[in-house]
Amino acid sequence: MKDKIRETLAFEDLTTEEKEKRHILGRLYGPIADVINPTRNGRKYSEQLWENVFNNPIMQEKIKNGVCFGELGHPEDRTEIDMSKVAVCMPEAPKKDKEGHLIGYFDILDTPNGRILKTLCDYGSTLGISSRGTGDLYTDDDGEEAVDPETYDCECFDIVLVPAVESARLTFTEGLNKNKTMKQALTESLESANDEERKVMKEALDSLNIKLDSNSEMSEDIVSETPKQTEDETKEAVDDGSEELIKSLQEALSEKSQLEERVNTLQKQVAVSDAKVTKLEEDLEKSKSTIIRLTSLAKNSRESAKKVSTLEEELKVKNQTIDKLTKEKEELEANSTKEPTVITESLENKDVTIKELNENLESSKAHEKELQDLNESLEKKLTDSTKLVEELNDKVTEVTKIKEGYKKLSNDVVSRYIELRAKNIGVKPEDIKGRLNKRYSLNDIDNVCESLMAYELNASKLPYNIDRKVKVKINQPERVQSPNDDDYVDDTLASVAGLI
């Protein structure tokens, strides 16, 4: 796989002289984006989107001039690049492989954050890559959330611990240095840096949730391995079942990590569902506004109908008048031989009156045609609006059901987690739940369990004997969080999922 990626990129390794001249510490290469599968948070980035990004004149200018930089970790409060925190540079545009991935490579620069990145790579960490940018979201033909190719503005690609695209993990081209631990190498890098560089490096380590104090184990923070027993812990454990208990606890810790990942996935899915519900609610509000406008139009139409009815009554009266005048005309024509001059003038006056009445009749017919067209248009719009409202209501109901399902599944996972922790420390689940508030998180559960375990530990120090056969000390790995643009789940979303 790695050989195929290198063939796709067709780049050559840097010589030692070139590295020293250009201040390059090494290279990372691999998939940086997926044009087929959505990201972990359910968003699609299409092939057209990435074509637009790398055909953009600004992006081409950055690559041409060697300033397509990236940082170590996603910043939370900005989208633009901070030159003091640069770690890598993309020397050329990526290429697409047959599996739908964009394949690219990055030079690790000799900067404070670049040296941290080089240390992590020497240790053996396989780091991820994630894009940083802004754009509008829309629902595609498959009903999935996608980023609009026309509005997406890509700023750069950053090195992260957990990338939004699961396959976006990069390979380091240099050999691995196993002579030092990561903690030792990072500490030496910090000690050799000046005050300004040390400040930048500490900020980068904090953003990656990497601690260098004496209580931290760096290997566990980065590669998430299962904690191993130290020699002291092995000496404390007795032979009557301790190994099986430790193995059981290690399996429990592994299952805990899987449960936490599942909870995070559910939280992201709930967040996506909430966004879709919000969009549907906005569409529903627009439809309601349309119905209100159409109702007003219908009211005006009814008023027009009343006016037409009045005109029809007037027309009826005028028709009767016309019939009467026509009859009088006929009588006058019959008596025309007796009074020719008077009759002629009378006939002329009657003809003028009849002409005016006919004009009024034609005007009334025109109003009737206009009313008919207006009624037909109104009926069509009312039918379309009613159908649209029904479709939107159906979608809102469906998304609401999905959301409730996610919430129930999240609650089941948390209950399972409590039962597992209770079993591990030898208490009942009710003992843990009784110490929790109404709104609690996984950290709160862990704190209660640690409190119960501390209670048991203190009981062993009492002046009377309590039979305790096994002494076990477990180091649990701190959970790594990567607060980047595509992966971060804030407290509000966790609250929606019922986890806090």
Which residues, at least 6 apart from 149, have a Cβ–Cβ distance to it below 8 Å?
46, 48, 49, 52
Closest C-alpha to 499, from 265, 166, 253: 265
Beta strands 69-71; 86-89: pairing state: antiparallel
> Do 218 and 297 fall within a single domain?
no
Confidence at residue 360, expressed as pLDDT on a 0 to 100 scale: 79
CA-nearest of 407, 144, 161, 145 to 266 is 407
The pLDDT score that the predictor gives to residue 221 is 41
The residue among 323, 322, 346 whose CA lies nearest residue 334 is 346
pLDDT digits (tens, 9 = 90+) for 417-451: 888 888 888 888 888 888 888 778 888 888 889 88
HSE, side-chain direction, 13 A CA sphere, residue 484: 28
The range of the structural domain enclosing residue 367 comes to: 280-398
**Residues 215 and 306 reside in one and the same domain:** no
256: in domain: no
CA end-to-end span of the chain: 42
310 and 188 in one domain? no
Same domain? For 108 and 201 the reply is: yes
> What does the pLDDT look like over 62-107, one tens digit per residue?
999 999 999 998 988 888 999 999 999 999 999 998 888 999 999 9
Q: Which amino acid is at 272?
A: V
Per-residue pLDDT at 30 exceeds 60:
yes
Q: What Å distances lie between residue 123 and 144, 183, 215, 341, CA to CA?
A: 39, 10, 19, 125
Contacting residues for 436 by C-beta, under 8 A, at least 6 apart: 444, 445, 448
Mean pLDDT over each residue of the chain, to the nearest integer: 77
- Looking at residue 467, its pLDDT comes to 52
Domain check: are 217 and 335 in the same one? no
**Residue 466 domain-assigned (yes or no):** no
- Predicted confidence band at 159 (pLDDT cuts at 50, 70, 90)? very high
Statement to judge: residues 74 and 9 lie in one domain: yes
Structural domain ending residue among the three candidates 206, 223, 240: 223
Note whether 219 and 304 are same-domain residues: no
Per-residue pLDDT, averaged over 1-25, amounts to 66
Residues 183 and 301 in one domain: no
- Both 117 and 215 in one domain: the answer is yes
Determine the 3-state secondary structure of 174 from DSSP. coil
What is the SS3 assignment for 166? coil
- Beta pairing partners, 147: 137
Residue 298 sits in a domain of what CATH number?
Answer: 1.10.287
SS3 215: coil
Cα-based distances in Å from 386 to 279, 380, 400: 19, 10, 21
Q: How far apart are CA 122 and CA 119, in angstroms?
A: 5
- pLDDT class for 353, splitting at 50, 70, 90? confident
- Residue 264 in any domain: the answer is no
In degrees and rounded to multiples of 5, residue 145 shows phi and psi of -80, 135
Q: Which of 223, 243, 263 is the last residue of a domain?
A: 223
Is 62 inside a domain boundary? yes
pLDDT at 239: 46
Q: Is residue 198 part of a domain?
A: yes
Please tell me the pTM assigned to this model.
Answer: 0.41
420 domain-assigned? no
**Cα distances (Å, whole numbers) of residue 268 to 332, 486, 490, 492:** 94, 10, 10, 12
Provide mean pLDDT across the span 309-317: 85
Tokens of 59: 């992006």
| 112-116, 295-299, 376-380, 472-476: segment of lowest average pLDDT | 472-476
- What distance in Å separates the CA atoms of residue 495 and residue 407, rounded to the nearest whole number? 10
Estimate the share of the chain in helix, then strand, then coil, as percent rounded to the nearest 5.
Answer: 60, 10, 30
Q: Which of 342, 367, 398 is the last residue of a domain?
A: 398
User: Considering the domain boundaries, does residue 93 fall inside one?
Assistant: yes
Contact partners, residue 267, CB within 8 Å, separation at least 6:
410, 489, 493, 494, 497, 499
pLDDT score at 235: 41
Query: At 183, is the pLDDT very low, low, confident or very high (cuts 50, 70, 90)?
Result: low
Domain count, the chain: 2
482, pLDDT greater than 90: no
One-letter amino acid at 3 equals: D
pLDDT value, residue 242: 52
Tell me: do 333 and 219 sit in the same domain.
no
Establish if 484 belongs to a structural domain. no
214/83 same-domain check? yes
Instruction: Average the pLDDT over each of 29-38, 194-203, 421-430, 489-498 and give the range with the smallest value.
Output: 489-498
Q: Looking at the structure, tell me whether residues 207 and 303 fall in a common domain.
A: no
